[in-house]
């Protein structure tokens, strides 16, 4: 980063000498603070030259995201193993490390910027009818650009995986791996120590200081029948709470900061940054993996794996790389004249958390002070890592509900509550970043011009609709075709509408919302005009126009037992019909979890790394 280069820093400071010693001193302090926040010295150095000199490694991990950073850390704990981690992006930036700026990374160099193919049943309010699917292209992957919610999902998720035949993946069996990665910021008590740990790399915190809007939301939610819950990752998931976050000392605690920074100088661990893996390589006339092919700076680098290659590139890039390498549906690969190494359902089983927003607005005279003076708050943050920018407050509130069964222990829908001050587009154009049409943007800005707005996301947790990922061409740089297929099964819309009517629309009638002048304020979109607001038809129209992804694609390299023809990997995450290759990331989920996917992905990485260690250390008696 430029602020950490002593020559450049000196040049910058010298150019402002005429401004006087006080200004120069302040500038030096400011540059030093930026360097401390996201300087290059915080991250592992690039090892391209070392790899070129000796391209032989025990393990190669492709992708330094939520899973890959964890896997590389754990494998390199064995001193005799030489481990290479390859990342298509570079180091985190100042913007990625500031918690409150979580939306600002969209459409930048740290975002792959994927978009599913056009749809007639969803995303109709977007240009080209294509929703936005941001994915992290940076050390830490999507954990470096997400909203930092630490949510593990429901116990039933993992018990369902085990019931499908995935031995070892029940809730009680995966709980130890959630705890292994966690450094829980609160005291461990008799009640919570079963679920939490202080021994891991990843900081998990919940700052109790509440913004007034958070209290308003929780109080109103209890009026419509949602229970107030303290720990969403404990014994019970149902209810509303302030979420735990992956933040530490006012900075984003991505897997890059948690798992890579502490081992950046580990001698048996190397990282190639800005290296694009274009193909998995095989030994001649066999299905045994030999290594990978990396494209970097116009050159190709072949790296050899003595033991295994681990693909942790995420639910889009992992299937894309497998398909390009001859692992996937036979008919699809042959249509591109790709040699078929293994006929497997790669790219199928795509699932995501889809939602539509509901807006409540309150006039300026009722608004809360949601943001202090922007420049003052930013300066405070850069110099102290404190203030409004150091957390995602007031956007931390989440709820898990089930309108079908008041006694349910697993939810149908997750609600996220976003708080926006008047004229939010002057600070960040959220709808513009998502590429929604001018009509939608203008209608929202009309509402937000003189109103504070609470946005409630109505998130479908267990979609019946499934999409797929396919090759568009054999050019590895050309993005694959993504078919989200939202609302393909009509039951998905029905679940969202039913829960919205019970737990979201009714907020307007609560005494709490009335007290603060908060009223439903639907966007006046032409496509839905003329329908009775609040009717099923109107809500379905809004959902199809204002479709959003919660950025949780999973399942495209499904895990399953022997005999499961829909599975790509076995329960130990080995790619079927291939030797020396595993997938360890969110793409192995057989079904999507009921909650945010970052914590479960880290758990999968911890468990996957443990499988590798047990296999190579115990079965091969290697230390």
Percent helix, strand and coil across the chain, each to the nearest 5: 35, 20, 45
Alpha carbons 368 and 410: distance in angstroms, whole number: 34
Domain ranges of the chain: 2-40, 44-198+253-351+469-487+551-623, 207-242+354-460+489-546
**Backbone CA torsion sign across 152, 155, 156, 158:** positive
Alpha carbons 596 and 400: distance in angstroms, whole number: 11
Q: What is the mean pLDDT of residues 153-159?
A: 98
Alpha carbons 337 and 355: distance in angstroms, whole number: 38
Q: Kindly report, residue by residue over 347-394, the tens digit of the pLDDT.
A: 999 999 999 999 999 986 655 555 555 667 888 888 889 988 999 999
| CB neighbour list of residue 148: distance below 8 Å, 6 or more residues apart | 99, 102, 245, 246, 247, 252, 253, 392
Indicate whether 622 pLDDT > 50. Answer: no
Helix axes 536-545 and 490-503, enclosed angle (nearest 10)? 110
Supply the pTM of this predicted model. 0.95
Closest CA to 391 of 102, 92, 100: 100
Task: Report how far apart, in Å, the C-alpha atoms of 527 and of each of 94, 407, 437, 531 are.
Answer: 40, 37, 12, 9
Contacts 24+ apart (CB under 8 A), 531-540: 534/501, 534/505, 536/497, 539/356, 539/496, 539/497, 539/500, 539/501, 540/493, 540/497
| CB neighbour list of residue 282: distance below 8 Å, 6 or more residues apart | 288, 289, 290, 341
Q: Is 138 annotated as a binding residue?
A: yes
pLDDT of 376? 78
Listed range (9-18, 48-57, 511-520) with the worst mean pLDDT: 9-18
Alpha carbons 95 and 98: distance in angstroms, whole number: 6
pLDDT of 373? 57
Indicate whether 564 pLDDT > 50. Answer: yes
Q: How many CB atoms lie within 10 A of CB 437?
A: 17
Q: Kindly report, residue by residue over 75-122, the tens digit of the pLDDT.
A: 999 999 999 999 999 999 999 999 999 999 999 999 999 999 999 899
Alpha carbons 274 and 294: distance in angstroms, whole number: 10
Q: Kindly report, residue by residue over 265-310, the tens digit of the pLDDT.
A: 999 999 999 999 999 999 999 999 999 999 999 999 999 999 999 9
Which residue in this structure is represented by tokens 């979580």? 102
Q: What is the mean pLDDT of residues 325-347?
A: 98
Indicate whether 422 pLDDT > 60. Answer: yes
pLDDT of 329? 98
Give the tokens for residue 42.
């915080």
CB contact at 8 A, 62 and 313 = yes
Q: Kindly report, residue by residue over 190-239, the tens digit of the pLDDT.
A: 989 999 999 999 999 988 777 888 999 999 999 999 999 999 999 999 99
CB contact at 8 A, 578 and 287 = yes
Q: Specify the higher pLDDT residue, 537 or 379.
A: 537
Whole-number average pLDDT of the chain: 93
Alpha carbons 81 and 75: distance in angstroms, whole number: 7
| CB neighbour list of residue 544: distance below 8 Å, 6 or more residues apart | 121, 122, 123, 124, 487
Q: What percent of the chain has pLDDT over 90?
A: 85
Q: What percent of the chain has pLDDT over 70?
A: 92
pLDDT of 208? 77
pLDDT of 374? 62
Which residue in this structure is represented by tokens 């078919």? 483
Q: Which residues belong to the active site?
A: 552
pLDDT of 623? 43
545 CB-contact burial (10 Å; exposed 0-12 / middle 13-18 / buried 19+): buried
In DSSP terms, 184 is beta-bridged to: 204
CB contact at 8 A, 66 and 311 = no
Q: What is the mean pLDDT of residues 420-428?
A: 90
Give the tokens for residue 400.
């898990």
pLDDT of 382? 85
494: left (phi over 0), alpha (psi -120 to 50) or beta: alpha
Task: Report how far apart, in Å, the C-alpha atoms of 331 and of each of 319, 326, 328, 558, 565 are.
Answer: 16, 11, 9, 19, 16
**In CATH, what is the architecture of 207-242+354-460+489-546?**
2-Layer Sandwich (3.30)
Backbone angles phi, psi at 414, to 5 degrees: -115, 135
pLDDT of 16? 52
Domain 44-198+253-351+469-487+551-623: state its class. alpha beta
Alpha carbons 80 and 66: distance in angstroms, whole number: 25
Indicate whether 526 pLDDT > 70. Answer: yes
Q: What is the mean pLDDT of residues 411-428?
A: 94
Q: Is 340 annotated as a binding residue?
A: no
Interior angle at CA 415, CA 413 and CA 420, nearest 5? 155
Helix (H, G, I), strand (E, B) or coil at 173: helix
Round to the nearest angstrom and report the end-to-end CA distance of the chain. 38
pLDDT of 1? 43
Closest CA to 63 of 580, 569, 585: 585
Indicate whether 594 pLDDT > 90. Answer: yes
Q: What is the mean pLDDT of residues 329-356?
A: 98
């Amino acid at each position: 980063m430029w602020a950490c280069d002593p020559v450049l820093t000196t040049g910058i400071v010298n150019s402002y000498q005429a401004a006087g010693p006080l200004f120069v001193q302040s500038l030096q302090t400011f540059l030093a603070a930026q360097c401390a926040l996201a300087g290059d010295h915080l991250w592992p150095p690039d090892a391209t030259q070392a790899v070129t000199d000796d391209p032989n490694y025990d393990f190669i991990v492709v992708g330094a995201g939520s899973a890959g950073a964890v896997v590389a850390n754990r494998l390199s704990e064995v001193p005799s193993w030489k481990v290479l981690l390859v990342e298509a992006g570079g180091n985190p930036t100042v913007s990625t490390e500031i918690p409150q700026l979580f939306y600002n990374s969209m459409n930048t160099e740290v975002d792959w910027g994927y978009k599913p193919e056009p749809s007639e049943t969803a995303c109709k309010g977007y240009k080209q009818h294509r929703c936005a699917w941001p994915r992290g292209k940076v050390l830490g992957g999507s954990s470096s650009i997400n909203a930092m919610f630490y949510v593990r999902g429901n116990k039933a998720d993992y018990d369902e995986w085990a019931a499908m035949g995935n031995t070892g993946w029940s809730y009680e069996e995966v709980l130890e791996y959630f705890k292994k990665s966690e450094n829980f910021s609160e005291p461990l008590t008799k009640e919570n120590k079963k679920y939490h740990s202080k021994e891991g790399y990843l900081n998990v915190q919940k700052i109790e200081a509440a913004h007034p809007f958070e209290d308003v939301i929780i109080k109103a939610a209890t009026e419509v029948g949602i229970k107030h819950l303290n720990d969403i990752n404990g014994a019970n998931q149902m209810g509303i709470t302030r979420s735990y976050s992956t933040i530490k000392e006012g900075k984003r605690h991505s897997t890059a900061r948690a798992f890579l920074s502490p081992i950046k100088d580990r001698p048996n661990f190397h990282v190639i940054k800005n290296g694009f893996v274009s193909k998995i390589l095989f030994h001649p006339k066999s299905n045994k993996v030999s290594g990978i092919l990396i494209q970097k700076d116009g050159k190709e680098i072949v790296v050899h794996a003595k033991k295994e290659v681990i693909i942790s590139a995420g639910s889009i890039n992992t299937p894309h790389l497998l398909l390009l390498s001859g692992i996937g549906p036979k008919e699809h690969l042959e249509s591109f004249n790709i040699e078929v190494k293994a006929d497997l359902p790669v790219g199928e089983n795509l699932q995501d958390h889809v939602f539509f927003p509901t807006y409540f607005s309150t006039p300026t005279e009722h608004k809360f002070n949601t943001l202090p003076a922007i420049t003052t708050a930013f300066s405070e943050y850069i110099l102290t890592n404190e203030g409004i920018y150091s957390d995602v407050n007031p956007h931390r509130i989440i709820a898990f509900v089930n309108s079908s069964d008041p006694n349910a222990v697993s939810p149908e829908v997750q609600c996220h509550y976003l708080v926006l001050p008047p004229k939010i587009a002057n600070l960040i154009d959220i709808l513009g970043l998502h590429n929604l049409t001018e009509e939608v943007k203008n209608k929202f800005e009309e509402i937000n011009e003189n109103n504070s707005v609470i946005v409630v996301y109505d998130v479908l947790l267990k979609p019946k609709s499934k999409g797929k990922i396919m090759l568009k061409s054999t050019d590895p740089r050309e993005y694959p075709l993504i078919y989200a297929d939202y609302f393909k099964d009509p039951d998905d819309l029905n679940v969202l509408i039913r829960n919205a009517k019970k737990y979201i629309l009714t907020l307007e009638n609560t005494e709490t919302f009335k007290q603060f002048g908060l009223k439903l304020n639907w966007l006046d979109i032409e496509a839905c005009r003329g329908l009775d607001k609040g009717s099923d038809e109107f809500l379905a129209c809004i959902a199809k126009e204002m479709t959003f992804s919660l950025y949780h694609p999973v399942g495209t390299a499904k895990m399953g037992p022997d005999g499961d023809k829909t599975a790509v990997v076995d329960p130990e995450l080995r790619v079927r019909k291939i030797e020396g290759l595993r997938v360890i990331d969110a793409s192995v989920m057989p079904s999507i979890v009921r909650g945010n996917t970052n914590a479960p992905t880290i758990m999968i990485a911890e468990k996957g790394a443990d499988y590798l260690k047990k296999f190579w250390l115990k079965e091969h008696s290697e230390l």
